[in-house]
Structure 1
Amino acid sequence: MPLVFLTILTLSVLAAIFLPPVWRQYRRKKIQQRPFPSSWRQILKQRMPYFRALPADLQLQLKKLILVFVAEKQFIGCAGLTVTDEMKVTIAAQACLLLLNKPAHYYPKLKQILIYPAAFVVPTQQADHAGIVSEMAQIRLGESWQTGQIILSWLDTLKSAAICNDGHNLVIHEFAHQLDQLKGQATGAPELNSAESYKEWALVLSHEYAQLQQQLALGLPTLFDAYAATNPAEFFAVISEVFFEQPELFAAQHPALYQQLRSFYALDPLSWAQTHPVPPVRS
């Protein structure tokens, strides 16, 4: 092969490898330099009291994350719903909480957010003890798929954003699944920094998961919703909700587990909950 063609081929290969990430980084930097729209600030003020509880540096960081998230993700209205900026910003603000203080990857597998007006019906199949499969319909508030989609009920998204200290947040739950699915199937163990981190994570979370199942079996009250005992993936998603929304109770009742999430999310909601309490929800 002539040298000139070999050189062109080599440059083409190098460009295919390096240019997309470089261009993406450049484009995101330019997006983050844009002024945050005043109408979007009003949406945060009206729909997300949690935002007002964040320290100023995290507020600024979150706004930059929102700008890129809204620019890169496709929002699709379902069942006749028309997508608005209010929907995009309200969802993006909650989703990007999980990205604060972390290398910005913006949920790389996620391409689309499908929004239903309210709870939606999903057809499923269930086999009985005899192996007979029956068609069923389940009502869902949200779903996270490995294939690049998240589905949300807008009504429940609004409720989650407005009541930000009850330990329940639909968007945080589904986007925690997305973090768990970065490596493939959701297992309750998202991508961590080292083998030692995985070892500590497995030790603490398996203990806490077993403890929750035991408490539920005995009918004892628990901080975490019973749905967390479904499987390790749901456990991680549920405790992520509580980590952001009820850090004081979480840290007091489950200190070792709180430290694991504090390390993973590179955040300490307890510190700002004490100095920047969440404003009361206005009816």
Structure 2
Amino acid sequence: MLYIISTLIILFLVYKSITKEKVEPKINTVEIQEHWYTLLEENVLFYKQLNTEDRLHFKKRIQTFLNRVEIVAVDFELEDLDILLVAASAIIPVFGFNNFMYPNLKTVIIYPDYFNEDLEFAAKSKNKIIGGLVGNGRFENKMILSRRALHHGFTNKTDKGNTGIHEFVHLLDKLDGNIDGIPKALLDNKNLLVWLDLVHDKMEDINNDDSDIRNYGGTSKEEFFAVACEYFFERPMLLKRKHPKLYQMLDDCFTVD
């Protein structure tokens, strides 16, 4: 009798383990801290130039982003400014899209320094020139950023570059399935050929050393798109003056005045 009871208990426990409800993934509950407002104003020019209503919207968008995306530091302890600069990099390109969040991103991994193609960032590692990348394969839905590059993008307000924005633009480019510099999700079909002609001309200028657009933009269409967007969000009035057609195309993409 005791053997039968023991067997029934074991069978019951096995049944429960098989049929138990799946545990829902943990949802972040990030709350905006009061001192974050000061950090944003001191470090993010885009935010500083917003009016009061848009600042409130920007902060809510940051909170939503941080509640959906995990930020992980490797070999250093995350600080509030690190978190805010990642979130700002994400929100700036999509600020003109009502409540858009990145469906193709779950985790941002931050390395303390630039890294190489083997994702090595130690002092003795060679060829550490990468500031960020959008992952694929085992790194699908992940982004890797260099902390140094991330901070530099917001500290230097005159260089027309921003690594964080660059990588999040790649994610937007990837919405149609490919990172190819052709923003099908942002432009209507009738403007795509106009965009490709413009990209060809601008890349030719870069490679002929006849442009103030960063040289990296001349390496491929996908990098041109990301580099041009850095310029657009960092120095919009300068881009409008020097490259009015490019400015207008990007303004059509991002609907940001």
Q: Normalising TM by the smaller chain, what interval?
A: 0.7 to 0.9
Aligned partners of 2:43, 2:172: CA distance in 1, in Å?
24
Aligned match of 1:155:
148
| One-letter amino acid of the counterpart of residue 241, structure 2 | A
Higher strand share: 1
Between the two proteins, what is the percent identity of the paired residues?
27
Q: Deviations over 1:3-27 (max 9, x none)?
A: xxxxxxxxxxxxxxxxxxxxxxxx9
Name which of 93, 97, 103 aligns with 2:92. 97
Name which of 195, 219, 224 aligns with 2:209. 219
Aligned match of 2:38:
42
| One-letter amino acid of the counterpart of residue 250, structure 1 | L
| One-letter amino acid of the counterpart of residue 98, structure 2 | P
Shift of 1:138: 5.5
Shift of 1:141: 0.8
Superposed, 1:65-144 pairs within 5 Å as: 65-78=61-74, 80-123=75-118, 139-144=129-134
Aligned match of 1:11:
none
Deviation >6 Å, runs of 4+: none
Aligned partners of 1:50, 1:163: CA distance in 2, in Å?
13
Contact 1:65 1:96 in 2 (8 A): yes
Aligned partners of 2:191, 2:45: CA distance in 1, in Å?
34
Contact 2:114 2:128 in 1 (8 A): no
Aligned partners of 1:159, 1:75: CA distance in 2, in Å?
19
Larger RCO (CA within 8 A; separation ≥ 6): 1
Aligned match of 2:246:
257
Shift of 1:43: 1.9
Q: What secondary structure sits across from 1:122 in the alignment?
A: coil
Q: Deviations over 1:36-89 (max 9, x none)?
A: 4212112213322332122333222111110111111111112x1222322111
1:189 aligns with 2:182: yes
Aligned partners of 1:81, 1:242: CA distance in 2, in Å?
30
Contact 1:50 1:164 in 2 (8 A): no
**In structure 2, do the counterparts of structure 1 residues 166 and 193 end up closer, same or farther at CA, with 3 Å as the change threshold?**
closer
Structure 2: give runs of 5+ residues left out of the alignment. 1-26, 120-125
State how many pairs are aligned: 223
**In structure 2, do the counterparts of structure 1 residues 36 and 137 end up closer, same or farther at CA, with 3 Å as the change threshold?**
closer
| One-letter amino acid of the counterpart of residue 171, structure 1 | G
**In structure 2, do the counterparts of structure 1 residues 217 and 261 end up closer, same or farther at CA, with 3 Å as the change threshold?**
closer
Larger radius of gyration: 2
Scaled by the length of structure 2, the TM-score of the pair is 0.78
Q: What secondary structure sits across from 2:56 in the alignment?
A: helix
Aligned partners of 1:212, 1:101: CA distance in 2, in Å?
25
Shift of 1:261: 1.0
Scaled by the length of structure 1, the TM-score of the pair is 0.71
Contact 2:97 2:254 in 1 (8 A): yes
Aligned partners of 1:168, 1:155: CA distance in 2, in Å?
13
| One-letter amino acid of the counterpart of residue 154, structure 1 | R
Contact 1:117 1:155 in 2 (8 A): yes
